[in-house]
Structures are given as C-alpha cells and as structure tokens.
Structure 1
Amino acid sequence: MVGTRGVPARYGGFETAVEEIGRRLVAAGHEVTVYCRGERHGDEYLGMRLVYLPAIEKKVAETLSHTGFSVLHAFREKIGRDGADVALVFNAANAPLLPVLRTLRIPVATHVDGLEWKRTKWSGAGQRYYRAAEALAVRWSDALIADARGIQDYYRERFGAESVFIAYGAPILERPDVAKLTEAGYAPGEYHLVVARFEPENHVHLAIEGYRRSSATRPLVVVGSAPYADEYTARLKALAGDDPRITFLGGVWDQDLLDSLYAGALSYVHGHSVGGTNPSLLRAMGAGAPVLAYDVNFNREVLGEDAGRFFGDAASLAAEIEAAEADPGRAADRGAAARKRAAERYVWDDVAAAYERLCADLAARRLTRKALRRR
C-alpha cells in the first residue's frame, strides 16, 4: 500500500482507509506492507509491516518523492525475493511512478481520490500536473478505484475509462464520551462545529461568513489547520474578527475528543467540495451529527435527501444555522437518520472485502489496462 503518510492513521482519509483495509486484509490471512513517512511507530502495526522512507518536505514534492523512494524499495525487494503480488497506489498524483511497478510485473490499482486539480493550492503548473497525472493513471493502472459515483462518472466521461467503485467506511459512535466534552468546556447540543483542513475548497471561510450573518447564540467551534496554508488561515482569522462566539481549536489529535465534538454538535457544517466520498462527513454521520453540507454532487450522494441539509452561499447557511437553533429536535432527528444511513451503506468490513476481491482479480490478471479502457 503506497502513496500515503502511512499508519497509524493520524492525518486524512487515505491513511484511515489504509489502516482499516490493511488490518482486515491481515486478519483474512494476507501479508500487507504499508509505506510510511514521518514519525516512526515500530516495524509492525495491527499486523501490517511498516516500511519508513524519507520525503522531500515541500508542498509540490512531498507525496511524489516519498512514493518514488517507496517504488525503488519495492524494486529491490522484488529482485531479492518474491516481492508483492499486487500494489495499491493511493492518489493519482503518483501515476508517473507506475511504470516502475509495471516493470516488475506487479499489477497496480490506483485509488484516484477526488478532483485534485480543482484545489486552489495547486495553481498553474500544479493544476496542469494533476490533470496530466489523471491521464497517466488511466494509461498505466490495471484498475482505477473510485470512492464516489461522481468520480466514476468523471473518469468515464473524460477518459472513457471504467473504474471500480469502493467507498469508505464510517465509524459508528453509539455512546460518545460526554466527559471529554465537559473537560473541553462544551455541552451536547450547545455549539456548531466545523472540522476541515484549511483549504479554500473546503469552504471554511463560507462557514464563518454564514455563521456571522446568522443570529446564532450558540458558539461556532472550528477544528482544523493545514500545512502550507498560512495565508488562508490568516484570512479565516480575519473573517472571524473579534466575534466572541467563534473559537479556533486548531488540530484536535485526541480522537475520542474529536468523536465527542462531532456527536455533541447542534450542527456540523461540512464545506468540502472536490474530494469524492469524504471521511470527515462519514465520521460526522456515524456520530449522529446533524449535517449542513455544501451543495455538490459528492455530498448529496453520501447524505441522500433526508440525512442532511444543503447550502450554497453564506445566506442559505445562515438560515440553516438559525433553523437548527430554532428546532434542535428536528436537527437531532436528521443526525439519527445520518447515522442509520452510514451504518447501512458505509461499512469497513464490506469495503475491505471489496479490496480483497479486487486484489484477487489483479493477481489472477482478470483486470488489465485493456479492461480499464472502453475505447
């Protein structure tokens, strides 16, 4: 499993997927190697073998450089012994390195993620690179993995390429740790919540603008940060101004506290717009949070029509926040519907089983580049 920060999962959706899928593949009897970067956590985790390699710590080079070291390591292992039967590569940005794996005759599935070229942090050359990388992923992968139907549609329409749909799983939280909330100074149902990496396409700025336009009396708690995002972070702080109702908690790495924040929110404002099936949204749903989501096809796909409300601008978000405060019972009912939907449709055991079938098909050469392309 190549192309992420590795495990334990402490950063984003890809890392969570690697941990949840990898541990289940190990339990099913498979040997799993995860390439990691950053802080070391031993040579094994939940049965997965961990290989730590360096990365160039620059925004434009970090992921690709680490994957480059990873495929070279895989090359040496393949020469020295049997090596891997299948490679799961996360992020289409790593596509230029796929020919190394193909040279080793290792079948490759690429999890293409969302529409990275739409992220504002990639301007000019960065956007061109990501769009080119998508085409290379189609050309050099034996299979593409899409975590949302909207991503499937994009690759089919743009490249004439088929993909395997495998969504993420959602953690289902039945009994939140209320004591964690109390320690942090919050009470269930008494605050609105934003959890997001600070990037413009996650619309944290819109969440703050909408909240400030509302007549809300309960505070807005903003959880998040981002590397390489000082300018956007400063913009968010300026938008909040001296409004005493808005609190920035920064990154919350205590996962029990984060779960409790989701579960206790009167509303969870989800502004993500380009990432397919978003793990933060699934986590909020699994915790029973009443979701107010930015109105794009990915969010509607995950929430359906009854498990959330949608906004497109500051005015519509302000109205939804006010509605949640006016009728918290109805908001709680939406949260319960969201948790039920997550428990039925986004199950990690099912996700891992789908990955296992995919790997078996790749190892048996039932999936090839020829099958990937329709024309």
Structure 2
Amino acid sequence: MLGTRGVPARYGGFETAVEEVGRRLADRGHRVVVYSRPTEPEASAGSSYLGMQRVELPVVRKRSLETLLHTGLSAGHLLRHRTDVAFLFNCANAPWLPLLRLRRIPVATHVDGLEWQRGKWGSTGRRYYQLAEKLAVRGSDALIADAAGIADYYAETHNAGTVQLSYGAPVVPPDTDRLAELDLAPGGYHLVVARFEPENHVREIVEGYRASAAARPLVVVGSAPYSDEYTAAVHAAADHRVRFLGGVWDQELLDQLYVGARSYLHGHSVGGTNPSLLRAMGAGAAVSAWDVNFNREVLGAAGRFFADPAGVAAAVEQADQDEAGTAARATLSSRRATDYNWDDVADGYERLAFDLAGHRLPRPRRTGR
C-alpha cells in the first residue's frame, strides 16, 4: 500500500483506510506492507504496526512535491521486492504506474475525490491532476472509488469502470467525561473538525455561525500545515463565541468531542466519502453538511444541508432551539453509520487483491453452524 503518509494514521481519509484495511488483512494472514513517511518517535512503531510491515522512507517537505516524490521512492523500493498486488492511493501518483507495470505488479489505484477542484491548487496544479486522472485510468489494472459520485464521474468523464469501496464508520463509545478538560459540557457546543482548506468551507461555517443567534459556542478542531493566509481568514471571521482548539491528536478526546456536540457541521465538498463525517455519525451526532452529492449519499435523511453562511446560521439556530428534532436526527445518523463497516470494506479489498493476483478466494472455514 503506497501513496499515503502511511501508518499510524494521523492525517486523513487515505491513511485511515490504509490502517483499517491493512490491519484486517494482516489479521487474516496476509503480508501487508505499508510505505510510510517519517513520524514522531513516540508515534512510530518501528518496522511493524498492528501486524503491518512499515517501510519508512524520507520526504521532501514541499506541499506540491511531497506526495509525488515519496511515492516515487516507494515505487523504486517496491521494484526490488516481490509482491502480489499493489494498492496505490491518490491519482496524483499515477506517473509512477509505468514503473510498477514494468515489474508486472498488478495495481489498483484508489482515485481521490476530484482533487483538481480543491482551492489550494493553482491552474498548473489543476491541470496536473486532470492529466493524472487520465494516467490512472490508462495505467491501472483497477480503479477504486469511495463514493457513487466519484464512480459516476469516472464513468462519464473517462468512460472508465471503478470498484466502489467506501470507508467504515467507527463505533464511538458514548463517553463524555473528558470534556471537562476543555471546559465543555455534553450538548453544550457545536463542532467543526476539518483541515483549514477552502473546499472544506471552514471560513463559511465560522461566518455563518457568527451571523447566527446561537447560544452555544462553536468549537473548531483543525489546522492547515501550508495555509497561513487561509487560517488567518478563518480566525478573522470569528467572534468571541468561537473556540479554536487546533489539531486534537488524542483520539479518545476527539471522539468525546464528537459525542458531546449539539450538532456537527461538515463543510467538505470535494473528497468523496469523508472519514470525519462517518466518525461523527458513528458518535451519534446530528449532522449539518455542505450540500453536495457525496454528503447526501452518506447522510441520506439523517442530514441537514447548507450551501452558504446563511444556511449555516439557520442550521445552528435550528439545532439550538429544536431539541427533539436534533435528537431525532442524531438517532438517524447513528443508525445510518452501521451501513459503513470496515470489515465489509476489507472484504472488498481482499476480493480485489485475489482477483488482480489471479487467485481464487480461499474457501471459508466450516464453523459447524
């Protein structure tokens, strides 16, 4: 598995998928190798992590090149080691596909959620991603999409079929005892968890909240490693009711923030099925989300949707005032989360791996039941 920051998962959706799928495949007896970037000493697990073998390679800390160069090193390393199947994450890494094909390694590329639409990329970056999509279609043995909207895009734009493998929603314990560490109370705040990037609409959410008459504070979790200007704009849009916590890497505390939120505001618009959204649903949060097909696909009737700051203001005011309606949406959200199961996702990856390697799936062992 290559093309991500690797494991332990401490950043985004691809990393979460690698960790959750990889650990399950390792538990089933497969040898799983994950190419990883350097981590902090306390986060690193050496050469293995949850049964997966970590191959840690150096990086160049430059936003536009970091992923591509690290994946190139990973592909070069992989050429010298036997593997049955490679899972390549992020179509931006597609230029390295010929290298893997040269070694006759079957490759499934997990394409990203319309990366060229992200606001952080200029015209050159957008053209590169559009080219990379074409290279991924031509050079991959299979394409993986995590949402129906992504599958539809590749069918309509590139006349390419995809295997749809989504993400899983975690079952989050209903604990809130640590919220007191942040001077918060269960049900006493609205929550945003997102990287500070334009397509995640953190600024619009803060602007909408500021225009609202919400009595409960807005708690914002997240940051942006390369975007000081956008971060400054987000902070400038806030009033005294907005609390910025920065990155929260303590997973237990982050889970309790989801559980204790009066409502969760999800502004992501281009990334397909989003792990933060699924975690909020797994925590039983009432979710209001940016109005795009990806979010509607995941939330269904459990969601409320907005498309501008005025919609955010209406959403938080409704969540503040309508206790019964908000509780009902939270229950629907929790039920819908059960449709997203990591074991099922791992089953899909395993079937695809056997298919690409030209092997039959092993017979299930008899249980006597």
Kindly state the Cα deviation for residue 91 of structure 1 after the two structures are TM-superposed.
Answer: 0.3
Indicate whether 1:268 and 2:272 are aligned: no
Match of 1:44 among 30, 44, 48: 48
- CA RMSD for the aligned pairs? 1.0
- What is the CA–CA distance in structure 2 between the aligned matches of 1:135 and 1:365, rounded to whole Å? 28
Moved more, 31-40 or 193-202: 31-40
Question: 1:76 aligns to what SS in structure 2?
Answer: coil
1:71-90 deviations in Å (ceiling 9; x for gaps): 1001122xxxxx01000000
Kindly state the Cα deviation for residue 365 of structure 1 after the two structures are TM-superposed.
Answer: 8.0
- What is the CA–CA distance in structure 1 between the aligned matches of 2:316 and 2:20, rounded to whole Å? 34
Match of 2:162 in 1: 163
Match of 2:58 in 1: 54
Match of 1:209 among 204, 207, 210: 207
- What is the CA–CA distance in structure 1 between the aligned matches of 2:348 and 2:94, rounded to whole Å? 22
Give 1:4's aligned amino acid.
Answer: T
- What are the within-5 Å matches in structure 2 for residues 112-261 of structure 1? 112-176=111-175, 178-240=176-238, 243-261=239-257
Kindly state the Cα deviation for residue 227 of structure 1 after the two structures are TM-superposed.
Answer: 1.2
- What is the CA–CA distance in structure 1 between the aligned matches of 2:335 and 2:172, rounded to whole Å? 11
- What is the CA–CA distance in structure 1 between the aligned matches of 2:307 and 2:123, rounded to whole Å? 26
Kindly state the Cα deviation for residue 292 of structure 1 after the two structures are TM-superposed.
Answer: 0.6
Match of 2:366 in 1: none
Gaps of 5+ in 1: 78-82, 367-375
Match of 2:346 in 1: 352
- What is the CA–CA distance in structure 1 between the aligned matches of 2:230 and 2:323, rounded to whole Å? 32
- What is the CA–CA distance in structure 2 between the aligned matches of 1:287 and 1:7, rounded to whole Å? 23
Match of 2:273 in 1: 277
Give 1:268's aligned amino acid.
Answer: Y
Match of 1:32 in 2: 32
Match of 1:329 among 324, 328, 334: 324
Question: 2:288 aligns to what SS in structure 1?
Answer: strand
- What is the CA–CA distance in structure 2 between the aligned matches of 1:104 and 1:42, rounded to whole Å? 28
Kindly state the Cα deviation for residue 329 of structure 1 after the two structures are TM-superposed.
Answer: 2.5
- What is the CA–CA distance in structure 1 between the aligned matches of 2:272 and 2:83, rounded to whole Å? 29
Match of 2:15 in 1: 15
Question: 1:100 aligns to what SS in structure 2?
Answer: helix
Question: 1:285 aligns to what SS in structure 2?
Answer: helix
TM norm structure 1: 0.94
1:23-60 deviations in Å (ceiling 9; x for gaps): 11011111000000021421001110000001111011
1:240-274 deviations in Å (ceiling 9; x for gaps): 1xx21011100000001100001111111000000
- What is the CA–CA distance in structure 2 between the aligned matches of 1:73 and 1:174, rounded to whole Å? 40
Match of 1:319 in 2: 314
- What is the CA–CA distance in structure 1 between the aligned matches of 2:20 and 2:112, rounded to whole Å? 17
- What is the CA–CA distance in structure 2 between the aligned matches of 1:165 and 1:55, rounded to whole Å? 31
Question: 2:20 aligns to what SS in structure 1?
Answer: helix
Kindly state the Cα deviation for residue 175 of structure 1 after the two structures are TM-superposed.
Answer: 2.1
Match of 1:292 among 283, 288, 291: 288
Moved more, 324-333 or 14-23: 324-333
- What is the CA–CA distance in structure 2 between the aligned matches of 1:278 and 1:266, rounded to whole Å? 20
- What is the CA–CA distance in structure 2 between the aligned matches of 1:116 and 1:175, rounded to whole Å? 34
Kindly state the Cα deviation for residue 323 of structure 1 after the two structures are TM-superposed.
Answer: 0.8
Indicate whether 1:106 and 2:105 are aligned: yes
Matched-pair contact (CA < 8 Å) for 1:53–1:66: yes
Question: 1:283 aligns to what SS in structure 2?
Answer: helix
Instruction: State percent identity of aligned pairs.
Output: 65
- What is the CA–CA distance in structure 1 between the aligned matches of 2:66 and 2:30, rounded to whole Å? 29
Give 2:328's aligned amino acid.
Answer: D
Kindly state the Cα deviation for residue 172 of structure 1 after the two structures are TM-superposed.
Answer: 1.3
Match of 1:371 in 2: none
TM norm structure 2: 0.95
Matched-pair contact (CA < 8 Å) for 1:270–1:281: yes
Kindly state the Cα deviation for residue 154 of structure 1 after the two structures are TM-superposed.
Answer: 0.2
- What is the CA–CA distance in structure 2 between the aligned matches of 1:349 and 1:63, rounded to whole Å? 28
Matched-pair contact (CA < 8 Å) for 1:266–1:328: no
Moved more, 286-295 or 33-42: 33-42
Give 1:114's aligned amino acid.
Answer: G
- What is the CA–CA distance in structure 2 between the aligned matches of 1:316 and 1:278, rounded to whole Å? 21
Question: 2:143 aligns to what SS in structure 1?
Answer: strand
